[in-house]
């Protein structure tokens, strides 16, 4: 990994470490097929391009990303420009609700909650990270699930907070534990 090896264009990389020693929310990355023989401790720390939405999605070790080298191709200064899809075993590394492959979450009927919209693979917004799943259906409903349990659901006519579960669940998840109903 030379100081200025002149790497240009988008490169596929795998996230190796997410605990930035400088506390700058960077991740260390390994260029797939290029830096395979470099020790993890010698990999560079990559800054991130963030979306304009104000949302921050943490990356996890093992995530595949796209990186570029905007500082004159300097291999010691990569920048993560986005997530990359991968299909280990022929199934995309996306929630089944988004890809339409694998076993999707079956939305349960809960007394007092509005009806769930139909899940439409590749059309719905699906966020699935750290034990929480948010689904915004193309049909107009929006639901939040934690550890496989419905917490909140909205549609154009009604909103329901499944209160006893959600308060206990979020307090438990915030402490870093798995929720047990």
- What is the rounded distance in angstroms from the CA atom of residue 151 to the CA atom of residue 135? 12
DSSP state of 174: H
Q: In terms of C-beta distances under 8 Å and separation of at least 24 residues, what long-range contacts does 132-136 make, across chains too?
A: 132/173, 133/95, 133/97, 133/105, 135/97, 135/105
φ/ψ of 155, rounded to 5, equals -145, -175
Q: What 3-state class would DSSP assign to 79?
A: strand
pLDDT beneath 50, residues of the chain: 1-4, 162-181
Report the pLDDT value the prediction gives residue 57, as an integer from 0 to 100.
Answer: 76
Residue 45's pLDDT is what?
A: 97
pLDDT at 161: 55
pLDDT at 167: 42
pTM of the predicted structure, to 2 decimals: 0.63
Q: Cα 23 vs. chain centroid, distance in angstroms?
A: 20
Under 8 Å CB-to-CB from 29, ≥6 apart: which residues? 13, 14, 15, 16, 43, 44, 46, 65, 67, 78, 80
């Amino acid at each position: 990994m030379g100081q200025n090896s002149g790497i240009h264009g988008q490169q596929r990389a795998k996230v190796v470490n997410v605990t930035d020693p400088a506390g700058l929310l960077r991740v260390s990355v390994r260029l797939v097929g290029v830096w395979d023989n470099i020790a993890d401790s010698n990999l560079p720390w990559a800054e991130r391009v963030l979306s304009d939405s104000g949302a921050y999605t943490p990356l996890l070790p093992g995530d595949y990303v796209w990186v570029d080298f905007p500082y004159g191709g300097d291999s010691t200064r990569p920048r993560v420009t986005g997530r990359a899809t991968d299909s280990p075993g022929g199934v995309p590394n996306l929630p089944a609700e988004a890809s339409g492959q694998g076993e999707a979450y079956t939305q349960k009927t809960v007394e007092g909650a509005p009806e769930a919209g139909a899940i439409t693979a590749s059309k719905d917004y699906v966020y699935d990270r750290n034990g929480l799943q948010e689904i915004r259906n193309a049909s107009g409903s929006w639901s939040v699930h934690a550890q496989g349990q419905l917490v909140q659901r909205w549609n154009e006519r009604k909103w329901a907070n499944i209160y006893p579960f959600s308060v206990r669940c979020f307090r438990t998840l915030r402490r870093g534990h798995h929720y047990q109903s």
